[in-house]
Chain A
Amino acid sequence: MKIFLDLWWFFRLEKKRYIIGIVMLITVTLLELFVPYVIRIIVDHGTAKTLTAGILLKWTLLVFISGILVYGCRYVWRVQLFGAAHRLGQLLRDRFYQHLTKQSPTFYQRHRIGKLMAHGTNDIQAVTYTAGDGVMVIVDGLIGGIMIISTMVFFIDWKLTLLAMLPMPIMAWTASYYGKLLHHRFKKAQEAFEDMTEDVQQNISSVRMIKAFGKQDSELSQFKKRMNQIVSTNLSAARIDALYDPTIFIITGVSFLISIGFGSWFVLQGKITIGQLTQFTFYIGDLIWPMLALGWLFNIIERGRASYGRLQKLLQDEEPIIQVSQPIKQLPSGEVKIYIPRFTYPNSNLVALQKLDLNIFPRQTIGLVGRTGSGKTTLLRLLLREFELTEGQIRLSEIDHRHIALKTLRVAFGYVPQEHMLFSTTIAENIAFGYPAATPEEIEQAARDAQVHDDILQFAQGYQTVVGERGVTLSGGQKQRISIARAILLKPEILILDDALSAVDAKTEQQIIQMIRQKRQDQTTIIVAHRLSAVEHADQIWVFEQGEVIDSGTHRELAKKSGWYQQTLLRQQTLTEGLEGRR
């Protein structure tokens, strides 16, 4: 029952809906008690030969009126109770979403997207169910059951009631027991289904590879194995599910036999009338649902509690970027001072960065080079405050960047990530992602600057082409260039290209670099690259190795010094060979 306490805040929030709903639900139960009573009256009048047309008309008219009332009340309670429950679903979904948008990457290291999606769909659904059907079941099962039984006790015969009720608790118990078993087995079946979905997903998304390696047959046989698993888990759930009806059937049968057997004896002894016995048996039938409801209640509560618990835990698990109380909102210029003696990622012992003491002057272009895993991306993530520094500080325009409002900080930076992520909307909206108010001209200009304008025009719908799942598939290079357009549209104080030119060809790379040099003379640009050609125009090049900057300088300086840069340069040159020699 704790779940109802946990949800109390919501019941209070929606108390009007709940009060109306519950009152209506109780009214329905009361009115339903009336119909068997009318049958009794008519039967008794019939046996006593006192039935007249007037009596018959009067009572059937009353049944008709009660029928209309029941219809009305049923409509109202459904709309009120279920409406309230879905309101809760909506509320939780909103909260959940908002919570997620505030979390830092550390949070996403802990929670995988698939799991989060499951929380956002299944768990919210389960809680919704508890707040609607759960409440209904409590009212019906407890209040309804009590009302029916008291009518039987007070208006017919308490001894007969007691006898007939004997098997009923067994029903509540079995319903709850089956429910538990079923839940467990359904979960297994659900898991098997999820496994299958994952298999299928992987199969289809790597279709080229599967075809290239001729793996169709082995994929199929693996799928068949999965199918066996699905069949067996589903059947094991069905075996329990199929028990419900027969069990109810037998138990009510027993209860019914008792009422008829002892009831007739009571009738013969003159303790009750035949009409009362008929009324009684109808009530026995009406009791089935409350008993089942009681049995189900247990499961609903358990499921609701588990789901709500998971959601609460998730909503309380926070890893936001902490803001200082009075953050500075003035946009920093492109001057950056980096002092990081040592940085390790949360939950990791590996030193990701160390001994960094670096300065970026306004309007400079900085090149970051070094092998994969040497710390380039980590530095960018720290600049963007995706992770918190543990030692040292980063100063923007002489201000510790932790004191700058997060929003301001993010306005200052334009970021083109390594892994291009576009949204399933039009290309125009993707480019204008960070500045939705951008005019079509501005969007087009950004696309031209990123050398993707011509590509876009080749699509039938041009800038209105929808990308992603439901739209066209873009090549890696096109995605990268759209990501670049998205970032440069904002004309950020500091532009970061994180290996963002890897999928474009050499000519385009140079055109983009050229554009950056021209258009961003007055702003700071940071370029991470594997090809030295992308950074050789930079004012400073930092060479990373094992989290440290082992060398820095301009292209000319570094090319002369023996070291990683020179080696790499030579290697890239020998790979390309010198043209001069052969001309």
Chain B
Amino acid sequence: MIFRRLVRYVQPHWRVFLFAFILLFIATMIEIGLPLGISYYIDHFLLPKHWIIREVLLFCAIYFGCQVLSALLLYKQEIRFQKIAQSIIRRMRIEVFSKVQQLSLAYFDRTPTGSMITRITNDTESIRDLYVSVLASLLQNSIFIIGVLVGLFILDPGWALTSLVLFPLFYMLIATYRKVSRPIFQKMRSKLSQLNTHLNETLQGMSVIQVFSQEARLYEQFRGLNQDHFQLRIKGIQADALLLRPATDFLWILVLIVILQFFGWQAIHAEIKIGVLYGFINLINRVFEPLQQIVTQLPRYQESIVSAERVFQLLDQQDLAPQQLGNDKISIDKGLVEFRNVSFAYSNGELVLDEVSFCIEPGQTVGLVGHTGSGKSTIVQLLLRFYEPTSGEILLEGKPLARFSEQELRTKIGLVLQDSVLFHGSVRSNIGLDHPSITDQQIINAAQLVQADPFIRRLPNGYDQIITDGGTTLSSGEKQLLAFARTMALMPKILVLDEATAHIDTETEELIQQAMIKMRKDRTTFIIAHRLSTIRDADQILVLDRGRIVERGTHKTLVNQGGIYAQMDQMQNGIVVG
């Protein structure tokens, strides 16, 4: 099944494939013809002492010419097969990559990032091996083996039939090897990956390890893994040594003995055919090489099939991000948001939002308050259509959210998260995200709007300053300012700030508070905050508890109500004053 699917990838390349195949076929025929030629030479020129210089020279010239031609053809076909394999893998990788882009966030939540990266990179690499080494070499070797068999029959049908015994023996060897080596290599690979994971994690957490004085303990763990890995390696070497090369070479000795016996009996009882003997040993010898290769490729073949299975699983994944319904070109130009009885449960059945309804007028600011897990972030994620509500309806500008194009949602709803990711790249590209439609001026305007411009200009290279991985050269507040600028560069109609100020020191927070006032102007704004201070002047505050809106109103009305909000407010105030 998987194999057939892999073969289907070759279909678009069938012309090149056919051509390469023909080249390969001719080259193989020549390669098998050459020992036959020598065999003929021995029996018809050398032995009868029929040795005319001119004929011998001609023979040599033809022999050499054929050799060069076959070498050339071999090279050409190899390159063709390589090209096919490369473009197949290219296609496959692009398919997987773009598939991953379409998957729903729910899928990302369930799947460790590491495994997804492996699918796109290492697994496809292993499939490339399948096309380059396994499929191509399987094809080459099979043609070769068939050719050799034909050659053997030409030399002597009797001997050729006997030599067929070789194949079941070979098959048995392969089967045994597979059975023995498979579990060993599986275990070995998993140990190796544990070993590398352990090393990686140690490096990541070195400061914690050192502060807690756990170096010795972790070293012991690592040593244990390393030792286990070594033991498995030895087992693998033993299996290889017992059943691979040494064994096939022994098989070759057995075959040789049979041939010698055959030849000997004939020589004793009839005339001798040294040329045939020569050709036979030579050809049999050559059949071993491709057989050996097939055997050595087998583990890789198994690995590739497993990889292909995993890649196809991902390609067949149906858990897609919500798609646009219909083809309407509706735009978001006011920012009217309404939730009608919206409920949402995770795939494990855990209810996170329970019949939530509210309506935000264009330009209003709404604050979402509640404890961790109360559903604040889920509201935002539903609004961004990262997830589809389990029941209920979300309306934008009075129309169902599902009818807006993704493009529209992404450019008109701007999101700032708690931990903003900065990319390796310049400040400029971190703000503009290399959007072709965003001009430099817009980038600077956005930076000015969020008050990031002064600190950017203070950087040694200003807007062209390269930010290293994770943005370690910037303070957390500065990183967050860049994230604000990035969002504002798109001039969204709806702004969503998800705990956007949690990691910021007070000075930067003040900057950001000022920036936020400007940013909120003419925009519908959602603010999620732990600290009530950030949402004090919101037009509406929704207090969530276990997925339900338990209180709503302005700061004043809520404080006067004396409910949860008032309590929270009192507490947060109390801290500062008391």
CB neighbors of A among B204-222 (8 A): 204-215, 217-219, 222
Q: Map CB proximity to B onto A518-553 as digits: 1 under 8 Å, 0 otherwise.
A: 000000000000111100100000000000000000
Q: Judge if B172 is at the interface, Cβ distance under 8 Å.
A: no
Residue of A52, A86, A116, A282 near B233 (CB, 8 A) is: A86
Give the most central of A209, A476, A532, A578: most B CB within 10 Å: A209
Interface size, B (range): 35 or more
Q: Is the CB of A579 within 8 A of B573?
A: yes
Residue of B56, B74, B105, B575 near A261 (CB, 8 A) is: B56
CB neighbors of B among A22-62 (8 A): 35, 38-39, 42-43, 45-47, 51-53, 56, 59-60
Q: Is the CB of A117 within 8 A of B253?
A: no
Return the chain A residue nearest B532 by Cβ.
A576
**Listed stretches B149-157, B297-305, B497-505; interface member:** B497-505
Q: Judge if A215 is at the interface, Cβ distance under 8 Å.
A: yes
CA A67 – CA B250 in complex, angstroms? 6
Q: Judge if A400 is at the interface, Cβ distance under 8 Å.
A: no
Q: Is the CB of A578 within 8 A of B577?
A: yes
Q: Is the CB of B421 within 8 A of A206?
A: yes
**Listed stretches B85-93, B337-345, B439-447, B544-552; interface member:** B85-93
Q: Judge if B125 is at the interface, Cβ distance under 8 Å.
A: yes
CB neighbors of B among A400-430 (8 A): 407, 410-411, 413, 415, 417, 421, 423-424
Residue of B63, B78, B205 near A421 (CB, 8 A) is: B205
Q: Is the CB of B506 within 8 A of A572?
A: yes
Q: Is the CB of B274 within 8 A of A43?
A: yes
Q: Is the CB of B98 within 8 A of A220?
A: yes
CB neighbors of A among B21-46 (8 A): 31, 34, 38, 41-42, 45-46
Q: Judge if B559 is at the interface, Cβ distance under 8 Å.
A: yes
Return the chain A residue nearest B87 by Cβ.
A231
Q: Judge if B54 is at the interface, Cβ distance under 8 Å.
A: no
Q: Is the CB of A63 within 8 A of B536?
A: no
Closest chain-B Cβ to A283's Cβ sits at a distance in Å of: 13
Q: Is the CB of B245 within 8 A of A74?
A: yes
Residue of A74, A424, A572 near B197 (CB, 8 A) is: A424
Q: If A74-B249, A260-B41 touch, does A415 touch B211 (CB 8 Å cutoff)?
A: yes
CA A53 – CA B261 in complex, angstroms? 9
CA A253 – CA B299 in complex, angstroms? 32
Residues of A within 8 A of B (CB-CB), count: 149
Q: Is the CB of B199 within 8 A of A51?
A: no
Chain A residues near B434: list those with CB within 8 A: 218
CA A282 – CA B138 in complex, angstroms? 27
Q: Is the CB of B101 within 8 A of A216?
A: yes
Q: Judge if A75 is at the interface, Cβ distance under 8 Å.
A: yes
Chain A residues near B114: list those with CB within 8 A: 469
CA A399 – CA B285 in complex, angstroms? 79
Closest chain-A Cβ to B94's Cβ sits at a distance in Å of: 6
Chain B residues near A243: list those with CB within 8 A: 75
Supply 13 A–B pairs (Cβ within 8 Å), ascending by A. Answer: A46-B272, A93-B195, A94-B226, A101-B218, A116-B203, A200-B97, A205-B113, A239-B79, A243-B75, A372-B476, A469-B112, A533-B572, A576-B569
Q: Is the CB of A97 within 8 A of B571?
A: no
Q: Map CB proximity to B onto A116-146 as digits: 1 under 8 Å, 0 otherwise.
A: 1100110000000000000000000000000
Q: If A52-B268, A579-B569 touch, does A204 touch B117 (CB 8 Å cutoff)?
A: yes
Q: Judge if A264 is at the interface, Cβ distance under 8 Å.
A: yes
Q: Is the CB of A82 within 8 A of B253?
A: no
CA A266 – CA B345 in complex, angstroms? 90
Closest chain-A Cβ to B432's Cβ sits at a distance in Å of: 11
Residue of B264, B510, B532 near A46 (CB, 8 A) is: B264
Q: Is the CB of B117 within 8 A of A197?
A: yes
Q: Is the CB of A238 within 8 A of B82?
A: yes
Give the dominant DSSP class at B's interface. Answer: helix
- A sample of 9 more A-B contacts (CB under 8 A), given A43-B277, A74-B246, is A56-B261, A211-B410, A242-B82, A249-B67, A268-B49, A502-B503, A573-B573, A579-B570, A579-B574
Q: Is the CB of B421 within 8 A of A209?
A: yes
Chain A residues near B406: list those with CB within 8 A: 214
CA A21 – CA B513 in complex, angstroms? 74
Q: Is the CB of A101 within 8 A of B256?
A: no
Q: Judge if B423 is at the interface, Cβ distance under 8 Å.
A: yes
Q: Is the CB of B261 within 8 A of A250?
A: no
CA A470 – CA B118 in complex, angstroms? 14
Return the chain A residue nearest B240 by Cβ.
A78
Q: Judge if A503 is at the interface, Cβ distance under 8 Å.
A: yes
Residue of A117, A282, A505 near B530 (CB, 8 A) is: A505
Q: Is the CB of A506 within 8 A of B575?
A: yes
Q: Judge if A354 is at the interface, Cβ distance under 8 Å.
A: no
Closest chain-B Cβ to A99's Cβ sits at a distance in Å of: 10
Q: Judge if B396 is at the interface, Cβ distance under 8 Å.
A: no
Q: Is the CB of B253 within 8 A of A410?
A: no
Give the most central of B100, B411, B415: most A CB within 10 Å: B100
Q: Judge if A207 is at the interface, Cβ distance under 8 Å.
A: yes
Q: If A79-B237, A506-B530 touch, does A410 touch B372 (CB 8 Å cutoff)?
A: no
Q: Judge if A384 is at the interface, Cβ distance under 8 Å.
A: yes
Q: Is the CB of A101 within 8 A of B209?
A: yes
**Listed stretches A2-10, A222-230, A299-307; interface member:** A222-230
Q: Nearest 10 A-B pairs (CB), nearest first?
A: A214-B410, A67-B253, A575-B533, A246-B71, A434-B212, A74-B246, A533-B575, A78-B241, A46-B267, A56-B264
Return the chain B residue nearest A98 by Cβ.
B219
CA A81 – CA B78 in complex, angstroms? 33
Q: Is the CB of A231 within 8 A of B86?
A: yes
Q: Judge if B51 is at the interface, Cβ distance under 8 Å.
A: yes
Closest chain-A Cβ to B384's Cβ sits at a distance in Å of: 6
Q: Is the CB of B121 within 8 A of A384?
A: no
Q: Judge if B182 is at the interface, Cβ distance under 8 Å.
A: no
Q: Is the CB of B242 within 8 A of A75?
A: yes
CB neighbors of A among B409-423 (8 A): 409-411, 413, 415, 417-421, 423
Q: Is the CB of B533 within 8 A of A211?
A: no
Q: Judge if A571 is at the interface, Cβ distance under 8 Å.
A: yes
Q: Is the CB of A246 within 8 A of B249?
A: no
Q: Is the CB of A417 within 8 A of B249?
A: no
Q: Map CB proximity to A onto B96-124 as digits: 1 under 8 Å, 0 otherwise.
A: 01101110010011001110110011000
Chain A residues near B264: list those with CB within 8 A: 42, 46, 51, 53, 56, 60
Q: Is the CB of B215 within 8 A of A102?
A: yes
Q: Judge if A234 is at the interface, Cβ distance under 8 Å.
A: yes
CA A215 – CA B226 in complex, angstroms? 42
Q: Is the CB of B226 within 8 A of A93?
A: yes
Q: If A78-B237, A415-B211, A503-B503 touch, does A536 touch B206 (CB 8 Å cutoff)?
A: no
Chain A residues near B573: list those with CB within 8 A: 573, 576-579
Q: Is the CB of B510 within 8 A of A571?
A: yes
Closest chain-B Cβ to A175's Cβ sits at a distance in Å of: 15
Q: Is the CB of A100 within 8 A of B272?
A: no
Chain A residues near B260: list those with CB within 8 A: 38-39, 42, 56, 59-60, 63
Return the chain B residue nearest A534 by Cβ.
B575
Return the chain A residue nearest B506 by Cβ.
A568
Chain A residues near B359: list those with CB within 8 A: none
Q: Judge if A313 is at the interface, Cβ distance under 8 Å.
A: no
Chain A residues near B196: list those with CB within 8 A: 117, 120-121
CA A261 – CA B46 in complex, angstroms? 10
Residue of A97, A373, A415, A505 near B219 (CB, 8 A) is: A97
Q: Judge if B70 is at the interface, Cβ distance under 8 Å.
A: yes
CA A120 – CA B212 in complex, angstroms? 24
Q: If A212-B384, A268-B49, A268-B51 touch, does A424 touch B219 (CB 8 Å cutoff)?
A: no
Residue of A98, A234, A411, A506 near B572 (CB, 8 A) is: A506
Chain A residues near B245: list those with CB within 8 A: 74
Q: Is the CB of A207 within 8 A of B108?
A: yes
Q: Judge if B173 is at the interface, Cβ distance under 8 Å.
A: no
Q: Judge if B316 is at the interface, Cβ distance under 8 Å.
A: no
Give the most central of A38, A71, A207, A433: most B CB within 10 Å: A207
Residue of B213, B250, B569 near A70 (CB, 8 A) is: B250
CA A421 – CA B434 in complex, angstroms? 32
Q: Judge if B47 is at the interface, Cβ distance under 8 Å.
A: yes
